[in-house]
Amino acid sequence: MKRILGVVLTLLLLCSAWITINIKLGKSQYSGAIFIRNDGSVDPPNAPIQRVGDVYTVAGNIDGNITVQKDNIVIDGLGYTIQGSTLNLSAISTATIGIDIQNRVNVTIKNVQIKSFVNGIHLLNSSENTIIGNNLAENVDGIRLDSSSNNNIVGNNITLNFHGIHPATNNKFYHNNLINNADRQVFIGPSDGFNSWDDGYPEGGNYWSNYTGVDAKNGLGQDATGSDGIGDTPYIMDSNNIDRYPLVAAFHEQAQPDQIFWLYLAISLIVIVAAIVIGILFFMKKAKGKPEKEVSRQEVL
């Protein structure tokens, strides 16, 4: 019994240490530029990015930026924040970029919160990359693509930027929430061409906070018995950029981990496991004690 109790206490102490370490990581703030070099190394080595194979996991908030110089990798932000300097839109002298992807193929950026840059995420001469489940806020351009095609931008929250998206040509955007971007939700430049802005019906397109259409039909223009969450009229940026199936409510399936939620969940699991084990030990002790008492009574008689 003592051994079991000792094991339980050891596990509880280990879990408590793990939680403490993670809380400290969550509060830490790294300052400086970070590079993922073409040989796979993280520069500088003390940057809060952990590598396992081709997956790079952010382990703390970053007051700086990340430059990607390697193909075929995944960067998972785990909900941490990459932040630049506070922007003054009327006095921008240098182009600062949160995550810089140039001449790259098959890079995935997910679960990162990016704010206060000229370009939150910038793709230049890059293709077949995926930007998914990120929060981009208070940048000049939330996501900007230049001379980049065949990229997928999916399930991002793009809010309170000057321009939400600068799209380039032949990229796919869907299930993004574009909310209250000050100048334009999408800035179409003179060199930008056709892009796809939905994943067909019934998957739908993007949510636009300035969309004025209604959802009274089934999204295909046919008579309907009820709404389907898709606007009955398209959201038009220009003749080459049309969201045929705009969402009438914000998309909520992004993988945006909440560290506080996971902390509470871990603590709750520890408490539940401890209560169960203690309860089992108590009843085992009680059950073991009963026969001993009966034997002692018989001996007395």
Q: Hey, what amino acid is at 271?
A: V
Query: Count of alpha carbons within 13 Å of 257, Cβ hemisphere only?
Result: 17
Prediction pTM value: 0.75
**CA neighbor of 208 nearest in space, from 255, 173, 239, 167:** 173
Contact 179, 135 (CB under 8 A): no
Burial of 89 (0-12, 13-18, 19+ CB in 10 A): exposed
Q: Which amino acid, 94?
A: T
pLDDT score recorded for residue 53: 97
What is the predicted pLDDT for the residue at 31?
Answer: 94
Residue 44: asked if its preceding bond is cis (omega within 30°), the reply is yes
pLDDT at residue number 29? 83
Is pLDDT at 57 greater than 60 in this prediction? yes
Give the residue among 49, 21, 9 at the shortest CA–CA distance from 263: 21
Q: Which residue has the higher pLDDT, 148 or 12?
A: 148
- pLDDT at residue 161 greater than cutoff 60: yes
Q: What is the per-residue pLDDT across 63-109, written as a single tens digit (0 to 9) for each?
A: 999 999 999 999 999 999 999 975 555 544 455 999 999 999 999 99
The per-residue pLDDT for range 204-231, each reduced to its tens digit, is: 999 999 999 999 865 555 445 567 999 9
> What integer pLDDT is reported at residue 23 of this predicted model?
45
CB within 8 Å of 204: residues ≥ 6 apart: 174, 175, 198, 219, 229, 230, 245, 246, 247
Reported residue count of the chain is 301
Region 52-61 average pLDDT: 98
**Can you tell me the distance from the alpha carbon of 80 to that of 256, in angstroms, rounded to the nearest whole number?**
10
Stretch 257-282: mean pLDDT, rounded?
63
Could you give the strand order of the β-sheet that contains 61-63, starting from the edge strand earlier in sequence?
A: 29-31, 61-63, 81-83, 113-115, 135-137, 157-159, 177-179, 207-208
pLDDT tens digit sequence for 27-43: 458 999 999 999 999 99
CA dihedral 153, 156, 162, 163 (to 10 degrees): 20
| Res 19 pLDDT > 80 | no
